[in-house]
Homo-oligomer: A and B are copies of this chain.
């Protein structure tokens, strides 16, 4: 596969990622993808044997994208203020759409978890990795004495992720960012209860 081939493939995946986020996976047709990516049907089937495989590529691409972003936001996390900044960035981003479409990973998870076990597994791993970034930062905070020794980074990370995902869902349903803010604030308060100072 030449650079040109990979570029076309990437264009297809990029278009599919966006369409499936906005319209949902099942409501996105291959013809939508073909049109949005400015390719031809032959290329779609040249690069992906069927729609299921395209969906899996979409899941992988979206996961990589979210994790890349979150690595940037979390790799230097070492203070409670950093956690607040993390929260603010997510809220800010989601408020641009009034919560519509929800979390890029969460909505895929909800739609695919009981439909494509391979996609589900990838998404599960991605959530674990995402929580891992949080847990690593919380671990640094604990080791540096910002958090009490009995703070459990993994559990805290899972709690933050659940609050985030639940917040996304409630905000998406209500078309109001408020519940997401409230949920994340609760989770942050919970972390705060482990602060030493």
Contacts and interface: CB of A to CB of B under 8 A. Distances in A.
Nearest to A152: B182
B113 A102 contact: yes
Contacts of A24: 26, 111, 114-115
Interface string A141-183: 0000000000000011011011111110110111100111011
Contact of A167 (B102, B166, B178): B166
A182 B106 CA distance: 18
A94 interface: no
18 contacts: A22-B114, A24-B111, A101-B114, A102-B113, A106-B169, A109-B172, A110-B172, A111-B111, A124-B174, A127-B174, A158-B170, A161-B170, A162-B166, A162-B169, A164-B166, A165-B165, A189-B190, A193-B193
Interface of A: 22-24, 26-27, 100-102, 106-107, 109-111, 113-115, 120, 123-124, 127-128, 155-156, 158-159, 161-167, 169-170, 172-175, 178-180, 182-183, 185-187, 189-190, 193
